[in-house]
Amino acid sequence: SKTYNVNFVTIATRIMLGIPQRPVTIQPIDMECIAAKVPTFSFSRLKNSDPRLGVEMQSTGEVACFGVNQYEAFLKAMIAAGFKLPTKNILISIGPSQQKLEFVQYAQMLADMGYTLYATKNTAETLKAQGVDSCTTVYKPFVRREPNVITMLKTGKLDLVINVPDSMD
Protein backbone atom coordinates (compact mmCIF):
# COMPACT_ATOMS: atom_id res chain seq x y z
CA SER A 1 0.00 0.00 0.00
CA LYS A 2 2.60 2.56 1.05
CA THR A 3 4.92 1.81 -1.84
CA TYR A 4 2.20 2.49 -4.41
CA ASN A 5 0.54 5.25 -2.33
CA VAL A 6 -2.75 3.36 -2.61
CA ASN A 7 -4.78 2.20 0.39
CA PHE A 8 -5.55 -1.39 -0.58
CA VAL A 9 -7.42 -2.04 2.69
CA THR A 10 -9.89 0.76 1.98
CA ILE A 11 -10.42 -0.46 -1.58
CA ALA A 12 -10.93 -4.07 -0.46
CA THR A 13 -13.34 -3.00 2.29
CA ARG A 14 -15.40 -0.92 -0.13
CA ILE A 15 -15.62 -3.84 -2.56
CA MET A 16 -16.64 -6.31 0.20
CA LEU A 17 -19.36 -3.90 1.35
CA GLY A 18 -20.66 -3.51 -2.19
CA ILE A 19 -19.71 0.17 -2.39
CA PRO A 20 -18.77 1.18 -5.94
CA GLN A 21 -15.02 1.48 -6.42
CA ARG A 22 -13.30 2.93 -9.44
CA PRO A 23 -10.28 1.00 -10.71
CA VAL A 24 -6.99 2.32 -9.41
CA THR A 25 -4.11 2.65 -11.84
CA ILE A 26 -0.78 1.54 -10.43
CA GLN A 27 2.33 2.32 -12.45
CA PRO A 28 5.37 0.75 -10.81
CA ILE A 29 7.59 2.44 -13.39
CA ASP A 30 6.54 5.84 -12.01
CA MET A 31 7.53 5.09 -8.44
CA GLU A 32 9.98 7.50 -6.86
CA CYS A 33 11.27 4.97 -4.35
CA ILE A 34 11.76 1.28 -3.72
CA ALA A 35 10.50 -0.56 -0.65
CA ALA A 36 12.09 -3.54 1.08
CA LYS A 37 10.55 -5.60 3.83
CA VAL A 38 12.66 -7.86 6.06
CA PRO A 39 11.75 -10.18 8.93
CA THR A 40 12.66 -9.56 12.56
CA PHE A 41 13.46 -12.40 14.92
CA SER A 42 13.08 -12.63 18.69
CA PHE A 43 15.02 -15.81 19.48
CA SER A 44 16.64 -14.26 22.55
CA ARG A 45 13.22 -13.34 23.98
CA LEU A 46 11.38 -16.56 23.12
CA LYS A 47 12.13 -19.34 25.58
CA ASN A 48 13.10 -22.67 23.99
CA SER A 49 12.97 -21.27 20.45
CA ASP A 50 15.15 -22.89 17.81
CA PRO A 51 17.39 -20.25 16.16
CA ARG A 52 17.95 -22.41 13.05
CA LEU A 53 15.94 -20.97 10.20
CA GLY A 54 14.09 -23.14 7.74
CA VAL A 55 11.43 -22.44 5.19
CA GLU A 56 9.02 -21.30 7.93
CA MET A 57 11.51 -18.62 9.02
CA GLN A 58 9.87 -18.23 12.48
CA SER A 59 9.72 -14.48 12.03
CA THR A 60 8.04 -12.54 14.80
CA GLY A 61 7.63 -9.31 12.90
CA GLU A 62 8.88 -7.32 9.97
CA VAL A 63 10.36 -3.98 9.08
CA ALA A 64 9.74 -2.07 5.85
CA CYS A 65 11.93 0.77 4.60
CA PHE A 66 12.19 2.92 1.51
CA GLY A 67 15.24 3.82 -0.54
CA VAL A 68 16.27 5.32 -3.85
CA ASN A 69 17.20 1.81 -5.05
CA GLN A 70 16.80 -1.78 -3.87
CA TYR A 71 20.20 -1.81 -2.17
CA GLU A 72 19.51 1.26 -0.05
CA ALA A 73 16.01 0.07 0.86
CA PHE A 74 17.28 -3.39 1.85
CA LEU A 75 20.21 -2.03 3.87
CA LYS A 76 17.94 0.42 5.73
CA ALA A 77 15.47 -2.38 6.50
CA MET A 78 18.20 -4.72 7.74
CA ILE A 79 19.61 -2.04 10.03
CA ALA A 80 16.11 -1.20 11.29
CA ALA A 81 15.56 -4.90 12.06
CA GLY A 82 18.66 -4.88 14.27
CA PHE A 83 21.31 -6.21 11.88
CA LYS A 84 24.72 -4.83 12.76
CA LEU A 85 27.10 -4.17 9.89
CA PRO A 86 30.39 -5.99 10.32
CA THR A 87 33.37 -3.83 11.19
CA LYS A 88 36.31 -6.18 10.69
CA ASN A 89 36.12 -9.99 10.84
CA ILE A 90 33.86 -12.24 8.77
CA LEU A 91 33.66 -16.04 8.94
CA ILE A 92 32.58 -17.89 5.79
CA SER A 93 31.52 -21.53 5.95
CA ILE A 94 29.78 -22.86 2.86
CA GLY A 95 28.91 -26.53 2.43
CA PRO A 96 27.97 -27.34 -1.16
CA SER A 97 30.80 -27.01 -3.71
CA GLN A 98 28.67 -25.10 -6.21
CA GLN A 99 27.73 -22.50 -3.61
CA LYS A 100 31.38 -22.12 -2.64
CA LEU A 101 32.23 -21.27 -6.24
CA GLU A 102 29.26 -18.92 -6.56
CA PHE A 103 30.38 -17.05 -3.44
CA VAL A 104 33.99 -16.45 -4.57
CA GLN A 105 33.23 -13.08 -6.20
CA TYR A 106 31.50 -11.84 -3.04
CA ALA A 107 34.32 -13.03 -0.81
CA GLN A 108 36.73 -11.07 -3.02
CA MET A 109 34.51 -7.99 -2.71
CA LEU A 110 34.55 -8.31 1.09
CA ALA A 111 38.34 -8.69 1.06
CA ASP A 112 38.67 -5.65 -1.24
CA MET A 113 36.52 -3.67 1.21
CA GLY A 114 39.08 -4.36 3.93
CA TYR A 115 37.36 -7.11 5.89
CA THR A 116 39.47 -9.87 7.41
CA LEU A 117 38.12 -13.16 6.10
CA TYR A 118 38.14 -16.43 7.98
CA ALA A 119 36.80 -19.65 6.50
CA THR A 120 36.42 -23.28 7.43
CA LYS A 121 38.87 -25.70 5.80
CA ASN A 122 37.16 -26.64 2.52
CA THR A 123 35.71 -23.16 2.03
CA ALA A 124 39.14 -21.58 2.60
CA GLU A 125 40.75 -24.02 0.15
CA THR A 126 38.17 -23.14 -2.53
CA LEU A 127 38.51 -19.40 -1.96
CA LYS A 128 42.32 -19.54 -2.10
CA ALA A 129 42.27 -21.73 -5.21
CA GLN A 130 40.05 -19.12 -6.86
CA GLY A 131 42.36 -16.22 -5.96
CA VAL A 132 41.01 -14.99 -2.61
CA ASP A 133 44.40 -15.22 -0.90
CA SER A 134 43.60 -13.13 2.17
CA CYS A 135 41.51 -15.87 3.79
CA THR A 136 42.60 -17.51 7.07
CA THR A 137 41.58 -21.10 7.77
CA VAL A 138 39.73 -21.83 11.03
CA TYR A 139 38.60 -25.16 12.42
CA LYS A 140 35.00 -26.25 12.79
CA PRO A 141 33.56 -26.52 16.31
CA PHE A 142 34.03 -30.30 16.64
CA VAL A 143 37.75 -30.12 15.73
CA ARG A 144 39.89 -29.55 18.83
CA ARG A 145 42.44 -27.24 17.20
CA GLU A 146 42.93 -23.50 17.12
CA PRO A 147 41.93 -21.15 15.68
CA ASN A 148 38.47 -22.62 16.24
CA VAL A 149 35.08 -21.18 15.29
CA ILE A 150 33.76 -21.66 18.85
CA THR A 151 36.69 -19.82 20.42
CA MET A 152 36.34 -16.96 17.96
CA LEU A 153 32.60 -16.68 18.64
CA LYS A 154 33.02 -16.84 22.44
CA THR A 155 35.72 -14.17 22.42
CA GLY A 156 33.73 -11.87 20.15
CA LYS A 157 36.28 -11.90 17.33
CA LEU A 158 33.69 -12.38 14.60
CA ASP A 159 31.42 -9.59 13.41
CA LEU A 160 29.50 -11.67 10.87
CA VAL A 161 29.09 -15.37 10.10
CA ILE A 162 28.05 -16.44 6.62
CA ASN A 163 27.03 -20.07 6.97
CA VAL A 164 25.48 -22.21 4.24
CA PRO A 165 25.17 -25.77 5.60
CA ASP A 166 25.43 -28.91 3.49
CA SER A 167 21.82 -29.63 4.34
CA MET A 168 19.14 -28.59 6.79
CA ASP A 169 19.26 -32.00 8.55
Q: What is the rounded CA–CA span in Å between residue 108 and residue 24?
A: 46
| Region 88-108 average pLDDT | 95
Q: Is this model's pTM higher than 0.85 or not? A: no
Task: Return the closest-CA partner of residue 93 out of 28, 158, 11, 15.
Answer: 158
What's residue 17's pLDDT? 95
Please state the rounded mean pLDDT for residues 81-94: 93
CB atoms within 10 A of CB 136: 12
pLDDT exceeds 70 at position 58: no
pLDDT at residue 41, as a whole number: 73
| Model confidence at 4: pLDDT above 60 | yes
Task: State the pLDDT confidence band at 106, using cuts at 50, 70 and 90.
Answer: very high
